Structure 1
Amino acid sequence: MKEWTRDIEINAPIEQVWKFLDGSVENMQQIMPQVVEHQPVKITEEVVGSVYRQKYREGKRTEEYDIETLEYLNETYEKKLKVGFTLAKMFEIKAFYELNKIKDNKTSFTYTVTSRPLKWYVKFLLLFATDKVVVEFLERVKKVAEAETSG
């Protein structure tokens, strides 16, 4: 298993950043442009345990998988969302988004992703995996949220 954790400060209100993670598919697509569909399969009252079917386009290929909400907190100064899914029957992925309000217009965003290989022959692929995708994702969220704040 491999885990990456990175954080970034975003010059935007916490609610503004949160809507990209816990909002409409259109909002989600602004920070995850490869997501082409995000449909509820099972919704629970407490959010944890809710399942969404997501379609994700990588080049010409479209992957479909179910994302389960594992942790959820939506408070004024702190927001958390942890989801889990299996990618291509090869990796079990967990993504954890944590937002903390620093000031009215400043938010701390911590992103942790873990990847566990499900097949013995993909374990070696993780040896060469870097945090490049994690860093790029944080920078995209910052750019989108700040552009909306200033615009």
Structure 2
Amino acid sequence: MKKWKKEININVPIEFAWTYFYGDIEKKKKIFPKVVGEEYIKQTESVIGSVIRQMYQNGSLTEQYEITIEKYKDEPNDKMIQEHFLLNDRFRMTIDYELQKEDDTTTKFIYTSINKPKNPLFSVFQLFGSDEVIVNFMNRTKETIEAAYKKTTAL
């Protein structure tokens, strides 16, 4: 099992940032550029337990994952969604996207990822894993959301 946890401040209000993680697929695609679509397989009233089929472009291949929402919180100062899925039929992934209101114009984004291989032999490969992909994702997310917010405030 490998666990990563990273935090970064995004200079936008929490409600503006939240739409990039939940509810607006076009905005979600901006921070997850390989995501090409999503459709609900099962949708619950509480969101928890909902299952989403996510289509993901990987080179010339379009892959599909069934994402189950394990946790969900949508409060004024604290928002979180936890997704669970099987990656490439090899790794059980649990990913938390959490947003915390720092003030009216700053949101703390906390990313937590737990990666459990289905086969214990894959654990050896995780020893050499780097957080570079996560750091790049966090920085791209910050830049994308802040740039979009600047466009809305410039109008």
What SS does the aligned partner of 1:20 have?
Answer: coil
Which string of whole-angstrom CA distances, capped at 9 and with x for unpartnered residues, describes residues 61-85 of structure 1?
2221100000000011110110100
Task: Give 1:79-98 correspondences, 5 Å limit.
Answer: 79-98=79-98
Give the match for residue 23 of structure 1.
23
What SS does the aligned partner of 2:49 have?
Answer: coil
Supply the distance in 2 between the matched residues of 1:58 and 1:15 (Cα, whole angstroms). 30
Supply the distance in 2 between the matched residues of 1:88 and 1:63 (Cα, whole angstroms). 9
Q: How many residues align?
A: 151
Structure 1 segments, 4+ long, off by >4 Å, are none
Question: Structure 1 residue 149: deviation in Å?
Answer: 1.4
Give the match for residue 60 of structure 1.
60
Matching of residue 127 in structure 1 with residue 127 in structure 2? yes
Give the residue type in structure 2 aligned to 1:118.
K
The CA RMSD measured in Å over matched residues stands at: 1.0
Supply the distance in 1 between the matched residues of 2:55 and 2:128 (Cα, whole angstroms). 26
What SS does the aligned partner of 2:82 have?
Answer: strand
Question: Structure 1 residue 90: deviation in Å?
Answer: 0.2
Give the match for residue 9 of structure 1.
9
Give the match for residue 41 of structure 2.
41
- Please, which runs of 5 or more residues in structure 2 have no aligned partner? none
TM value normalised by structure 2: 0.94
Question: Structure 1 residue 136: deviation in Å?
Answer: 1.1
Supply the distance in 2 between the matched residues of 1:129 and 1:60 (Cα, whole angstroms). 25
Supply the distance in 2 between the matched residues of 1:18 and 1:146 (Cα, whole angstroms). 12
Give the match for residue 103 of structure 1.
103
Question: Structure 1 residue 103: deviation in Å?
Answer: 1.0
Q: What percentage of aligned pairs have identical amino acids?
A: 38
Give the residue type in structure 1 aligned to 2:131.
D
Supply the distance in 2 between the matched residues of 1:47 and 1:77 (Cα, whole angstroms). 19
Which string of whole-angstrom CA distances, capped at 9 and with x for unpartnered residues, describes residues 34-65 of structure 1?
01121110000110000000111122222211
What SS does the aligned partner of 2:130 have?
Answer: coil
